[in-house]
Amino acid sequence: MKLVLFGANGSAGSCIAQEALSRGHQVSAVIRDSSRFTMRHERLTVVVGKVCDPVSVAEIVKGHDAVISAAGPGAAIANDPTQAPMVVQAAHALIEGLKQAGVDRLIVVGGAGSLEVAPGVQLVDTPNFPEQYRPASLAHRESLKVFQQSDLDWTFFSPAAEFESGERRGVFQIGGNQLLMDAAGKSRISVQDFAIALLDEVENPHFLRRQMTAAY
């Protein structure tokens, strides 16, 4: 498949790129600054673009089979919450840009905060949710609402509550909009295994126009 990957130089994005390339896909890695992206591969094309600009999105994604967005302010948002709105801006730009380009399939890396921990109760609304992550989680939740109004074949892929680089196991749970936990009551997954689950969904969709998650 010919894939576009926004946010390819982030922790999740770089793992997604590596997983996609290992499966034989062609990847157009979209970043803001090419000097900060060192990955090289014969099926990898590095493209400078803007995920919040629908015109830029349309130009880049035209002719591709699917679009993956792992774009976001990342860890910097903890020190600068004003960056949170870019998540919603990107949602609108992706929808408009894909429509202009005639591309229907979109899978977005969202946040865990919008996952339910009880009927009608989302993780971001629980009393012990870390304050430094709240602006990003609320922005991701708002972006999910934007995608839910779209007629694209979108998937909003929320990771587990603990989401960081680690072991590539290849074994994990898959679910919908509810927070998943392991036998010890922990909600966690490595970025490497998240990338496996995401590419599985790209290749064999089961959560079209739905939220999904993965955890051990």
pTM value is 0.94
pLDDT tens digits along 58-114 = 999 999 999 999 998 765 555 566 777 899 999 999 999 999 999 999 999 999 999
Q: For position 64, which CATH number holds? A: 3.40.50.720
The tally of domains found in the chain comes to 1
DSSP 117-172: EETTEEGGGSTTS-GGGHHHHHHHHHHHHHHHT--SEEEEEE--SEEES-------
pLDDT tens digits along 171-204 = 999 999 999 999 999 999 999 999 999 999 999 9
Query: Cβ(144)–Cβ(136) under 8 Å?
Result: no
Domain that holds residue 206: 2-215
